């Protein structure tokens, strides 16, 4: 299997380098290699950013560089001076062992760990030699921290200070098309990208800020381990082919008519507008959600749920936190699993809106 290489995205000379692709294709390995290589060349250090402090503790921290150690990368890049990596308190040091298994550790770390959930502890410290920042697994199907993007930029500010020589890598598996990072960074074309392509966004005066986004191409021959995930289940295609992970959602159980629609409201999320119809059919009531392909006709009167702040009384934000009887009735359909979707992608949009609504973001 051919593993991922940074060569193409580095050629874009961007400050932010975002790589999305299948699991276990070498994305993280390539940046860790890049960081060690730079340290061996000029002493510049590596920062590893994760969401939780536990990602650096115990076994997780101790095995962070195991793949490179096992491939003899440390020995080769340090020209035989060091052979292994020692983890201590969110820092990584080169080390080596003698014939009696006695460990000798380098005086200074070549890499530091930064947890977004513990960012307050790092604000007063200076890291002038860090020139490579890796935010690993920035995409999740779970809950993001409140205001996570702001927390991430605060970590960047702590590390970068007044410099302009820092390169940022954001690595993620194809687990969620509706990450707040895409919205916060204005990456509006990610959902439409094809595997093997790179898209560059430019911001600021004369486009000096560059963000390169690569949808890493899946290995044509696949991985040997793919045989273990060959079930007829679309949720597993992210592991074997790198396509976006998606759940299976219930589709509409009946063919109803417009006269069966009792109430209509809308959800606007992630650049998509969804029409939600409360239906009464055969003495059964449920909600059906589908894409809204035209503008909302009565935007000043129809109930609209959206993360946007809007002073109009018909605009609401969090459907999971009702403030009136109508909102409680609409929420009850979700609580009782009486909601059906046009297709699985619509289901994904609603799932991510509900995660946000439950408190993933303020």
pLDDT tier at 118, thresholds 50, 70, 90: confident
Find the mean pLDDT for residues 345-362.
84
- Across 100-114, 230-244, 283-297, 348-362, least confident range: 230-244
Structural element, H or E, at residue 295: none
Q: How many Cα atoms are found within 13 Å in the side-chain-facing hemisphere of 41?
A: 9
- Whole-angstrom distance, CA of residue 241 vs CA of residue 195: 10
What's the CATH number of domain 7-240, 3.40.50, 2.60.40, 2.30.30, 1.10.3470?
A: 3.40.50
- DSSP state, residue 233: -
- Position 180 scores a pLDDT of 86
- Whole-angstrom distance, CA of residue 17 vs CA of residue 211: 6
Find the mean pLDDT for residues 122-145.
88
Q: Where in the chain is the domain with CATH 3.40.50?
A: 7-240
CA–centroid distance for 342 within its chain: 25
Cβ of 65: how many Cβ atoms within 10 Å? 25
Judge contact between 292 and 274, C-beta under 8 A.
yes
- Whole-angstrom distance, CA of residue 246 vs CA of residue 349: 10
The answer, yes or no, to whether residue 362 has pLDDT greater than 50, is: no
* Cα separations in angstroms, 198 against 19, 164, 193, 258, 263: 9, 23, 8, 44, 43
Residue whose C-alpha is closest to residue 270's, from 342, 183, 187, 359: 183
Q: pLDDT tens digit string along 311-343?
A: 999 999 999 999 999 999 999 999 999 999 999
* Predicted model pTM: 0.77
The answer, yes or no, to whether residue 198 has pLDDT greater than 70, is: yes
Length of the chain: 362
Report DSSP letters for 138-195, one per residue: ---SSPPPTTHHHHHHHHHHHHHTT-S--EEEEEEESS-TT-HHHHHTT-TTGGGPPT
Cβ of 89: how many Cβ atoms within 10 Å? 10
- Position 178 scores a pLDDT of 83
Q: What is the CA radius of gyration of the chain?
A: 24
Question: Strand, coil or helix: what is 254?
Answer: coil
- Whole-angstrom distance, CA of residue 42 vs CA of residue 232: 49
Q: pLDDT tens digit string along 154-176?
A: 999 999 988 999 999 999 998 88
Q: Say what percent of the chain tops pLDDT 90.
A: 69
The answer, yes or no, to whether residue 212 has pLDDT greater than 90, is: yes
Residue whose C-alpha is closest to residue 21's, from 32, 13, 30: 30
Q: pLDDT tens digit string along 232-264?
A: 555 555 455 556 667 789 999 999 999 999 999
Judge contact between 329 and 237, C-beta under 8 A.
no
- Position 229 scores a pLDDT of 55
């Amino acid at each position: 299997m051919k593993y991922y290489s940074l060569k193409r995205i580095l050629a874009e000379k961007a400050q932010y380098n975002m790589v999305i692709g299948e699991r276990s294709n070498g994305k993280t390995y390539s940046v860790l290699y890049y960081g060690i290589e730079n340290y061996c060349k000029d002493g510049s250090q590596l920062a590893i950013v994760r969401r939780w402090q536990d990602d650096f503790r115990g076994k997780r921290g101790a095995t962070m560089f195991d793949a490179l150690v096992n491939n003899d990368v440390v020995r080769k890049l340090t020209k035989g001076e060091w052979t292994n990596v020692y983890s201590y308190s969110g820092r990584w040091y080169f080390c080596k062992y003698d014939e009696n298994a006695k460990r000798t550790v380098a005086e200074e770390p070549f890499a530091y760990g930064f947890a977004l959930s513990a960012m307050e502890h790092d604000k007063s410290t200076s890291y002038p030699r860090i020139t490579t920042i890796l935010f690993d697994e920035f995409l999740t199907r779970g809950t993001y921290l409140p205001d996570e993007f702001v927390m991430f930029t605060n970590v960047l500010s702590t590390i970068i200070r007044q410099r302009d020589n820092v390169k940022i890598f954001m690595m993620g598996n194809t687990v969620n098309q509706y990450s707040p990072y895409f919205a916060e960074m204005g990456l509006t074309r990610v959902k439409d990208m094809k595997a093997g392509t790179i898209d560059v966004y430019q911001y600021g005066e004369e486009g000096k800020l560059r963000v390169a986004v690569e949808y890493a191409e899946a290995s044509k021959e696949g991985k040997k381990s793919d045989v273990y995930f060959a079930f007829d289940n679309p949720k597993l295609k992210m592991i074997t082919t790198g396509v976006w992970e998606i759940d299976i959602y219930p589709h509409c159980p009946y063919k109803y008519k417009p006269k069966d629609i009792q109430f209509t409201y809308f959800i606007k999320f992630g650049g998509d507008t969804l029409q939600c119809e409360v239906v009464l059919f055969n003495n059964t009531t449920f909600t059906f959600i589908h894409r809204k392909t035209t503008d909302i006709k009565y935007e000043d009167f129809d109930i609209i749920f959206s993360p946007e702040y809007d002073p109009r009384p018909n605009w609401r934000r969090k459907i999971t936190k009702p403030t009136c009887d109508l909102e409680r009735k609409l929420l009850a359909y979700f609580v009782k699993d009486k909601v059906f979707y046009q297709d699985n992608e619509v289901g994904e949009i609603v799932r991510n809106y509900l995660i946000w609504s439950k408190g993933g973001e303020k």
